[in-house]
Chains A and B, each alone.
Chain A
Amino acid sequence: MLSQQLVNGLVLGSTYALFALGFTLIFGVLRVINLTYGFYFTIGAFVALTVAREFGANIWVALPVGALSAGVVAVVADWVLLTRLRRAKAGELSSLMVTLGAVLALYSLMAVFIGTDIQRFPFGFVDNTAIEFGSIRISLVQMLIVGTTFVLVAVLFLLLQRTKLGLMIRALAENEDAARLMGINVGLTVAAVSFLSGTLGGAAGVLIGLNFNAIQPFMGEHMMLRGFAVIIIGGLGDIRGALIAGVLLGVLEVLTAGYISSNAKEAVAFTILVLTLWFRPVGLFGRAQAKRA
């Protein structure tokens, strides 16, 4: 029973980690809390849903198409909303507000045209068999989620540590002006970061949409609570912190649901968020600088 719950917790946790990954990446490099991130999640899921429905695409096509479309949306959103503020070196609250207004407009526009009814992937989109290891059951979707999370995280780390683009991104994260002086094309790097994080958000949208099989314009917004909790518990901008915090949150939620009540589960994220702020605002690993006001 406990081991089954731990497995479920790990799966849930990987979805949280995957979701928060792109979110914390944006903050880590671009120093903005970009609330349009939740919309990338929604868009990823909807694009995947559409190609699955209209063209009968299977998951191996729908997942990358959904994720990459979200990446493109992210580049456009960042360019439209934040270029001007970045140039004016406006405060972090201005960019937060702009993305907040934009994301409400986007969700609502989508709701006006698509409606807020819950939509589902076509029957048989993914094989819903499960594999049993002794007493533990793992569904194919769950394995897909964990597997994809692993692959995406590995790709992201390789990209950041081993490529020229990764070097540019890390330089930008250090200091924008210095990066510019070093001859780094800041605009391009910003776009690349947006694309990466949008893709991660979109992939999370497809997989989580699949896991709960419930797709709806505001799904990204409802995911944000976990996103906020994970990036603050892990430390703002700390990628490794977000991964661990995501998994931890998933496990804690499942255990809370199992041993206390399923209502209490919903409060876990917020409770740890507030506790972290009180007792360890720099996040679990303290790598991120919790900037003092």
Chain B
Amino acid sequence: MDGMTMAEWLDDFLFTYETLIHALGVHGLLALSMYCVMAVGQLSLGQAAFMGIGAYTGALLTLNLGLPFWLVLPLSALAPAVVALVIGGPTLRLSGVYLAISTIALGEVLRVLYINAEWLTGGALGLSGIPRKADLWLIYLLLFLAVLGFWAVGRSKIGRAMEAMREDEAVAGVMGVNLPVYKMGALVVSAMLAGLAGCLTAHSNSFIGPNEFGFEMAVTILSFALLGGIGTPIAPVIGALVLTSLPEILRPLQDFRLVINGLIIVVAVLFLPRGVIPFRLRRAP
């Protein structure tokens, strides 16, 4: 740091790693959106798709309608929430595989639609020139608030009900938990978080394309939550931090990033079902 002040060094650091630091925050939000569904014992593989809906909605509202960012952001959370209602409505009444299947299918169909609806989405080239309105502080503020929110709600009857559903859904129902409402609530909130993350990505990368929100991203988001575990809301966020920064630190791993993410899921499910941060949130005062 010779000849540099702390502030200059920080500026330099932020400049060099800007993309990574943005990605860390956004991936933290995505990990939380995964956490939210898994916390009620469900599996949604549509987090990347919800993110994509948020990203395209946000980008199009900014580019085509010129709406202010404070309005774009909530609308980008709303759009995937509506889709979540349409998909969650029928599937949450059925066994868990139906939600998982239809959400993977959602990601797949959207990818093709983004490519084909060239007039709107720019097709395979995607949308570019999106103004960079997602400041670093905003991303991290939202991440912080989301963790705090999950932590607070986790320590209430809602958190206890969610853990109960995860452990034994039928008994949770006998405790008086309105299962359909809780499942739908979790899915909608998780879709909103993913939509926010998508909108933030669009407005920090200034470019989005149809392949960023597909299968690979969906599985990657799942790997965040499985690596960290879902005992506390911070655990999946740490999972995201590790898996996002690892390939940056170990450059040779870069090519194998997706292979590693996939293998982490395999290993976590088979040998580490609680993740590497197995603590659980206390839910009583």
A158 sits at the interface (CB 8 A): no
Which residues of chain A are near B263, meaning CB under 8 Å? 101-102, 105
Q: Contact: B105 with A273, CB < 8 Å?
A: yes
Chain A positions 104-129 with a Cβ under 8 Å from a chain B Cβ: 104-109, 112
Per-residue B-contact encoding for A211-240, CB less than 8 Å = 1, 0 else: 000000010011011001100100010000
Residue in chain B with minimal CB distance to A222: B108
Query: Which residues of A sit under 8 angstroms from B223, Cβ to Cβ?
Result: 101
Collect the chain A residues with CB atoms within 8 Å of residue B124's CB: none
The chain A residue with its CB closest to the CB of B117 is A263
CB distance from B228 to the nearest CB of A (A): 15
Contact (A105, B92) CB under 8 Å given A112-B256, A222-B108: no
Q: Report the minimum CB–CB distance from B180 to chain A (whole Å).
A: 9
One of B93-101, B151-159, B186-194 at the interface: B93-101
Q: How many residues of A contact B (CB 8 A)?
A: 47
Q: CB < 8 Å: which of B98, B222, B259, B260 contacts A100?
A: B222
Q: Which of B43, B101, B259, B260 has the most CB of A within 10 A?
A: B101
A33 with B109: CB separation less than 8 A: no
Report Cα–Cα, A92/B101, bound state, in Å: 12
On chain B, the residues within 8 Å of A93 by CB distance are 43, 96-97, 100
- For B166-190 the 0/1 string (1 means CB < 8 A from A) is 0001000000000100000000000
A225→B116 CA distance, assembly (Å): 16
Contacts of A33 in B (CB 8 A): 97, 100-101
Query: Which of B87, B95, B117, B222 contacts A292 (CB under 8 A)?
Result: B95
Residue of B nearest to A278 (CB): B90
How many Å lie between the Cα of A221 and that of B216 in the bound state? 10
A104 touching B261, Cβ below 8 Å: yes
Tell me whether B219 and A100 are in contact (CB under 8 A).
yes
Assess whether A293 is in contact with B96, with CB atoms less than 8 Å apart.
Answer: yes
User: In the complex, how many angstroms separate the beta carbon of B61 from the nearest chain A beta carbon?
Assistant: 22
Question: Given A225-B105, A293-B96, is A274 in contact with B86 using a C-beta cutoff of 8 Å?
Answer: yes
The dominant DSSP class at the A interface is helix
With a cutoff of 8 Å between Cβ atoms, the chain A residues found around residue B86 in the complex are 274
Complex CA distance for A291 and B255, rounded to whole angstroms? 41
Give A291 to B98 CA distance when docked, in angstroms. Answer: 10
Minimum CB–CB distance from B112 to chain A (whole Å) comes to 4
CA distance A102 to B262 in the complex (A): 6
B98 touches A281 (CB 8 A): yes
A84 — which chain B residues lie within 8 A by C-beta?
Answer: 270
B67 part of interface (Cβ distance < 8 Å): no
Query: Which listed residue (A98, A107, A277) contacts B265, Cβ 8 A?
Result: A98
**Interface: B197 (CB within 8 A):** no
B79 at interface (Cβ–Cβ under 8 A)? no
A224 with B108, Cβ < 8 A, contacts A92-B97, A96-B100, A278-B89 known: yes
Shortest beta-carbon distance from A77 to chain B in Å: 11
> Is B90 a contact partner of A108 (Cβ separation < 8 A)?
no
Q: Which residues of B contact A75 (CB under 8 A)?
A: none
A residues less than 8 Å from B81 (CB atoms): none
Q: Is B56 an interface residue (CB 8 A)?
A: no
Instruction: Given contact pairs A101-B268, A281-B90, enumerate 13 new A-B contacts (beta carbons under 8 Å).
Output: A91-B96, A92-B95, A101-B219, A108-B262, A221-B108, A224-B105, A225-B112, A228-B105, A262-B116, A274-B87, A277-B102, A290-B94, A290-B95
